[in-house]
Each structure stands twice: as C-alpha cells, then as structure tokens.
Structure 1
Amino acid sequence: MKQVKFLHTADLHLDSPMVGLRHLPKAIFQRLQESTFKALSNMMDEAIKQKVDFVVIAGDLYDGEDRSIRAQAFLRNEMARLAEKGIKVFAIHGNHDHLGAQSVAIDFPDNVRFFNGQVETAVYKKDDGTLVHLYGFSYPERHVMERWIEKYPRGVGADFHIGLLHGHFEGASDHGKYAPFRLSDLIDKGYDYWALGHIHKKSFLSEQPYIVYPGNPQGRNRKELGDKGAYIVNLTDSGAEVSFIETADVIWDETVIDAKDAAGFNGIYEKCLAAIEGNRRDGKGVLMDIRIERLNPELSDVVDKIDSGELLELLQDAEKGEDSFVWVHKLHFSEDVVIDRGNLIKQSDFYEELFKTIEQYDDLNEPLSPLFLHSQARRYLEVLSESEREQLVREAEQLLLQQLTKT
C-alpha cells in the first residue's frame, strides 16, 4: 500500500515582538518572547518522534519582512535537525515574509525546498517508489490580491498530490484577503490534501479531500485563544488520517465566573482562584482573561476592589514565581442589573428614541478614530473583529442605562 506521512504547519511568525505586552513581569514577557521559537522546537521534536517523511510550512515563517538574523538562524538549525533524520521540508513564504523583502539571507541545508515567486511543482519520492507532487508559490510581494489558485495545475502523474497555499477563504472573514479562493477551486484541482496558511485559527474547510488551516503554533495575543499546534497527516491509497499535536509554550485563554451567589469579596476571590487552578497546564504558561458576570451591585466594597485593581494584583502576585503560571492578564466584571426596556419606554419617549438609536447604530469608526489614528496608540492596536464591535456597543448600552436609571 502506498503511504506518506508529513507534518503540516503554518504562520510560525518567528521572533514576533509581542507588541503591547512589555508591562508583563520580566520573566513572563521573556517566556512569551521565546514562545514562537519554543513552539517550532516542539513541532520538530514531534516530527522526528513520529518519523514523518517531510514537513510542509504554508507561509509566514517570520513575523516581519526584515527576517531577523536570529530568527533565520534558529529556523536553519531546526531544519538541520530534520536533515540529520532524513526529513525533507517544503515551505512557502506568505504576506509577512514575502520574497520582495530586503534582508540579509542565511543559507539553509539541502533538505529544505523554498518555493519561488511562481506556482511550481516539487517532487518527493520515497525509497519504496511512492511519488508525491507538492504545488505552491511564495508571495513575490506583500499584497497578493489576485486569485493565484487559478495558476495551480491539476493533480496528475503522482501517487499523492499536496497543495500549499497561503490565502483567504472567500466569505469566511475579513482577515487580510490575500490570494483569495473558493472551496470549489481547491476541490477541482484533484489534490489529496490542501495545506493552508494565513488564518490563525485551526479549521477544516473540507474532509474529502482534507483542506486544512492548522492555525499558528503559538498564540501571540488575546485574540489567538486556546490550544495551538500543527497536524500530522497520513495519506494512503484508502484515504487520509489527520491528528492534531499541541505545540504552544504559552497559551492565551479566557473564562467567565458567575458571581450571582457570591456573598462578598472572599467568595469572588475563591472563585477566581478556582478558575486559575482549573486552567493551569503542566509545563506551560497561561495568560488568561477573567470576566466576572452578574455581580451584585450592592457589594460596593467588592466593586471597589476590582475597579482599583487590588483583586487583579492579588491574583497576579501568587503567579510570579510559577513555571506553569496562570497570569490573569485582564479582569472584567458586569453587575447583575436588569433593565426593563418596556417600562422605561412607558416612562418617557426619550428611552424609545434611545433604544432605536442603539439598535440602528452600526458605525464605530467615528468615535474610535481618535484612538486608531493616534500616531502612538495605533502601534499597539489591532482592528476590532465584528464580535468585539458588537460587544463594545452592548457594554456601552449597559453602562449608559445604569447611569441613567440610578436613583
């Protein structure tokens, strides 16, 4: 039976600067700075352990187009580890590390094949004669907006066909619409597996054939939540098997605490401690956001301790010396206040107009523009997702109504 085994990863973003996180304790920030490198080492350990035939990297090996010497040297050394075991590597460059970048380049060992700026075919042949064709291209420049999928050939002349593409699945999100494609475009090529990159959340677009975004192997901010890793893929004459491997050294997470039955500060504190212990990972670090919901507004002393940051500091102090830390990055809360819209509308036409305005409000650009256009602030901001914009409007509505209905 013909068979081939490989590891699929993408979006390594080596040497990511972890913008806006320097306020973290020095040891935790340094751990986070090293995490993209550690994730790569973890992946290569797994590739060697599982004796894969080759590794495919679907773009954005480096975080920036300057490709720091340190990042290149680290990647080269990891590739050399694979070379010692006879494991090949097939890689494409994406929008972050495109070929048009002007940077000093380091030579890589012969087991590594980087695709050039045109769609090309790489050939891999096992000792038993199993033949694999891999198809892909590296971004010649940062902004690749054309439908490059149309340049990919149909899969013929080999036992297995694998496509590498760093691009945007049309209609899925607003995340950088580079090298767009439709699902039917990929399926029509007749490949056995599509190794995608660009989206930092793992997902299967199809299972016949497998069309896979592995996500990034290491989360870099609170939008990149949960387990991060890569996929081990087995292709055989009878089909494909895909299994996920965890690689992240530091995990971003979030949790919600229901404070409805909490009678005081100690009750809230104990719930937070339980949430921390419940999210601790052996040997890994965790950066976690906690949201306390349905907090009794009559517990003014508790509200004051949260508002002042004292509860957050208390939770953080206990984690400073932990190797398997759970660092509470942010602590939010909402009070258990029920707003009766119908009754408010009966009281005044003002509320009816207010609610209509809120429901029809869909433009946050104007109020947010002073922040996002600020020369210094915008360096530390990312574009808000649709869900984040909706949440921002809901929280603003809740705050406004609480202030208006205070007695």
Structure 2
Amino acid sequence: MSGESFRFIHASDFHLETPLGDLDHLPPNLREGLATAPRDAAAAVFEAALATNIDFLVLSGDLLHPVAAGPHGMSLLLDNFEKLHAAKKPVYWAAGIADDPKQWPEAVPLPPNVTLFPRDKPLSITYERAGRAICSVVGRSSEGRSSLHVPGFQAEINDEFTIGVGYGSADANALSAGRLDYWALGGAHNYTEIEGGAPAGAIQPGSPQGRGLDECGPHGYCVVDVDAEHTARVHRVETDCFRYCHETIDAEEIRSVGSLRNLLGQKIATLANENGGRHLLIAWDVSLSDPEMISAVGDPVELLRQVRRDHGNGNPAAWTTRLTVRPPKAYPKSWREEDTILGDFLRASDKFRKSGSAAAKPASAKDAAASGGQSRQINLMPFTEEHAELSSTATTLLGDLPAQHRDETLDEATLLGVELLRGGKPSWGRKS
C-alpha cells in the first residue's frame, strides 16, 4: 500500500473543569500560573495544531464538563475550533464521560470543521487533501463507560490508513481484532501505550497538564507522522507548565550528605535540571529506617517551611507540597536493653506490638498506661478525660481511630517517646 504522507495531533483529557490538586497552600508567586495551567496546556495543543504542517486534530475525550467548566472553558474550545476552521483544518472529537455530548448546550453549535462523533454508532470519515483520499477516521463517543467497546467500531475496512478514535481502556487483543492502523484513545490522565493494539500504535496521550501526585511526570500530546508507505512514528510533546514529582529518600541517602535539608536541596537542583525549567510540585517520602538518623532530620514542620522558603519562590519554582517522614519500624537492640526509662519504654512498645493489641478500653489514662489488654482497637478516649479543653470533635476522633491507622499511630507514638527520652526536640507529627 502506498499513498501520501500526513501528520496529525492526538490529544485528550483536557479536563478544563478541574484545577490542580494536592496543594495545601498556594504560594503567592505561583497562584496565577496554577490557576491557568490547565488552560495554558490545552491552548498549547491548539497552537501546535494551527501549525501549517498539521493536517488535522484528533481529540479523544474528557475535554471538559460544559457546566462545571462554564463559559470560560467552553470559550477556549470554541475560539480555537474557529481558528482551526479558518485554517481549514478538521477536528475529530470522540467524547468521553466528562464531555458527554448530551451535556453540550444545544444553543452553542460547533463550527463545521468539528466532527463530534455519535454515542450510538461509529461514524467513518474520509480525510481528503486536494481532492484525494488520504486516510479514514472512524470514531465513536463513549456511552458513559470507562472501558472501550471495540466491537462498536465495526466499519468498512479499506486500503487507506485507518484511525480509530474512542474513549476508554482496552486490552491489546481486543484492539488488534479491530484491524485499525492506529487507535487514538482517551481516558487515562498519564501517557499509556497499549503494546500490540495496532500496527502504528494504540495510545492514550494523557492530560496535557497533570493535576496531582497520582499524575507525576511529563504531560502533553502526541504528534503522529504517517509516511506514504503507512509507516507511522509517534512523537510525544510536553505541554505541562507545572510538573508533579513524588520522591522517596532513605536513611542511607541522608547519612551520605549529613542532613535532610542539604539532601533535599541537592535533589531539587537535580529535578530542576531534569525537568526543563518547569515549576515543580514535589512530595517527599522519607523513610527513617535507621533510628540513628533521627537527629539529621530535625523537625519536619520547620524543615518544610525552610525548604519552601529556600526553593519555592524562584522562577521556575520548586514547591514542596508534602513532606512525610516515616518513623523507624525497629530501634537498636542496645537501646532496648538499657536499664533506663528509654529501655523500659521500647520493651513495652515491642511487647505491645507483638500482642497485636491496644489497651482494652481502660477506665482512665492511668489504667491505660498500665494495661496490657488484648483488644486490637486503639482507644485513646480515656486520655481525653484529663484535658477538658479538647473539643467534642477532637475527643470523638481520638476515641474512634480507624484500624488501618493503628500501626502508623504506634510508630508515631514510639518515635515521639524516643525523641523525648533521648533528650531531643519532639516534632509532634511527622507529616507536613
């Protein structure tokens, strides 16, 4: 088979109705950029599509929820659709769940260059250039499912390069059975390639801008080049203005540098270099597997303030969204064997853990301290009786600690006790 070469952009999951998340504080120098980041990234897709060497634009779902995004979001789409119409460039749009065609206002017609595929059946369109058929585009909008119904894309197979446009996940075997050359899919917020799904690729390009710590790494769109022999090359183009990073640190890394603050500075410099001058939104997960390194960490709350001050105000900025220091699971044998209050405390902690129990709802704080009960529930309510200033909400939370937080609470309590008994400054909570 031979024909003419062509190029198109494949993008999806703009989610113009959704702001960036996992932020407990908005630094003043980043507020405007954070607010406009999703729109800026989506606009970059349209700017690239307006380039003269792009034949058409393929959009595979979840661009925006019209009601939630409001006029501001809808105008971005419509204005750019109109620009592409003026440039005589088609747009092929398979809607997902957020941008369900039923949500689109009837009073707001789409420009004639935009094909919004129907939900109930596939629609096949032949893209022509100078009166000659170049390729076929077969699309179908989602019926509200997060998985793709491949049999719903049955269409006439011809010798032209055929692009399937849909929304949702599917396995490679099902996609390959569709006998299409390229699957342009949506629904995944991170770039996903389904190997073996189609000769030229079965790809979910992800959102042009990550929204949270579960969407770390580069975000953008795909440019697909197809030559006259129907051989395709897919290029990823990054458009994210802010990049989420989730970094883990162990005790050995801290030991090699001497302090956690210095280590964070080194890692931030590396991340800034690796991510091409973008603003970074970083979560740190620090594992204190070696209790001897407790002093090298210091107070996580104060450390968070320092790191934000040192690195969060630049351009580009590296803003720490979260700093989690995980307490040791075990302490040195020599500490436990000491004939001191610290030794007594650690031995009691070990015994408590091995029993798999917390105090069996003792009548008072004094009884709780002395009890070796066998209930698996941690009941902190008795301790609130000696603190009348606590609110009813606080006492309720203390008295109803979820079972899944039991080990975490024991780790926190043991670390606090160790810090106090070894003469250190307690941090009063390792998560910041």
Cα gap change, 1:286 to 1:187, in 2 (>3 Å)? same
1:241 to 228, 233, 238: 233
Question: Aligned pair 1:115/2:109, yes or no?
Answer: no
Offset at residue 264 of structure 1 (A): 11
1:276 to 268, 275, 278: 268
Cα gap change, 1:266 to 1:80, in 2 (>3 Å)? farther
Offset at residue 105 of structure 1 (A): 5.2
Query: CA contact under 8 A between 1:260 and 1:293: conserved in structure 2?
Result: no
The residue type paired with residue 184 of structure 1 is N
Question: Aligned pair 1:221/2:212, yes or no?
Answer: yes
Offset at residue 168 of structure 1 (A): 2.7
Query: CA contact under 8 A between 2:14 and 2:38: conserved in structure 1?
Result: yes
Offset at residue 310 of structure 1 (A): 0.9
In the alignment, what sits opposite 1:160? 161
In the alignment, what sits opposite 1:74? 76
Question: Aligned pair 1:287/2:281, yes or no?
Answer: yes
In the alignment, what sits opposite 1:198? 187
The residue type paired with residue 325 of structure 1 is A
Query: CA contact under 8 A between 2:124 and 2:139: conserved in structure 1?
Result: yes
Question: Aligned pair 1:297/2:291, yes or no?
Answer: yes
Cα gap change, 1:322 to 1:139, in 2 (>3 Å)? same
Provide Cα deviations, 1:81-119, integer angstroms capped at 9, x if missing partner. 333433221112111121232747533333222112222
Offset at residue 185 of structure 1 (A): 2.6
Question: Aligned pair 1:35/2:37, yes or no?
Answer: yes
The residue type paired with residue 400 of structure 1 is L
Query: CA contact under 8 A between 1:222 and 1:252: conserved in structure 2?
Result: yes
Cα gap change, 1:205 to 1:38, in 2 (>3 Å)? same
Question: Aligned pair 1:251/2:252, yes or no?
Answer: no
Question: Aligned pair 1:314/2:313, yes or no?
Answer: no
Mapping 1:45-64, distance limit 5 Å: 45-49=47-51, 51-63=53-65
Query: CA contact under 8 A between 1:16 and 1:33: conserved in structure 2?
Result: no
Task: State how far apart, in whole Å, the 2-side matches of 1:190 and 1:167 are.
Answer: 18
In the alignment, what sits opposite 1:188? 177
Offset at residue 249 of structure 1 (A): 1.0
Task: State how far apart, in whole Å, the 1-side matches of 2:70 and 2:51 are.
Answer: 29
Query: CA contact under 8 A between 1:10 and 1:197: conserved in structure 2?
Result: yes
Provide Cα deviations, 1:262-286, integer angstroms capped at 9, x if missing partner. 4699722111111111112444211
Question: Aligned pair 1:331/2:334, yes or no?
Answer: no
Query: CA contact under 8 A between 2:148 and 2:167: conserved in structure 1?
Result: no
Q: Identical aligned pairs, as a percentage? A: 21
Task: State how far apart, in whole Å, the 2-side matches of 1:316 and 1:338 are.
Answer: 31
In the alignment, what sits opposite 1:125? 128
Mapping 1:359-370, distance limit 5 Å: none
Mark the structure with the bigger radius of gyration.
Answer: 2
In the alignment, what sits opposite 1:400? 410
Query: CA contact under 8 A between 1:133 and 1:158: conserved in structure 2?
Result: no
Task: State how far apart, in whole Å, the 2-side matches of 1:97 and 1:123 are.
Answer: 24
Query: CA contact under 8 A between 1:66 and 1:101: conserved in structure 2?
Result: no
- Once the two structures are overlaid, the 10-residue window that deviates more, 195-204 or 151-160, is 151-160
Count of matched residue positions in the alignment of Structure 1 and Structure 2: 350
Cα gap change, 1:301 to 1:338, in 2 (>3 Å)? closer
Cα gap change, 1:136 to 1:335, in 2 (>3 Å)? same
TM (normalized to structure 2)?
A: 0.71
**Structure 1 unaligned spans of 5+:** 170-181, 355-391
Query: CA contact under 8 A between 1:44 and 1:78: conserved in structure 2?
Result: yes
Q: Which has the higher helix share?
A: 2
Task: State how far apart, in whole Å, the 2-side matches of 1:401 and 1:282 are.
Answer: 39
Offset at residue 134 of structure 1 (A): 1.3
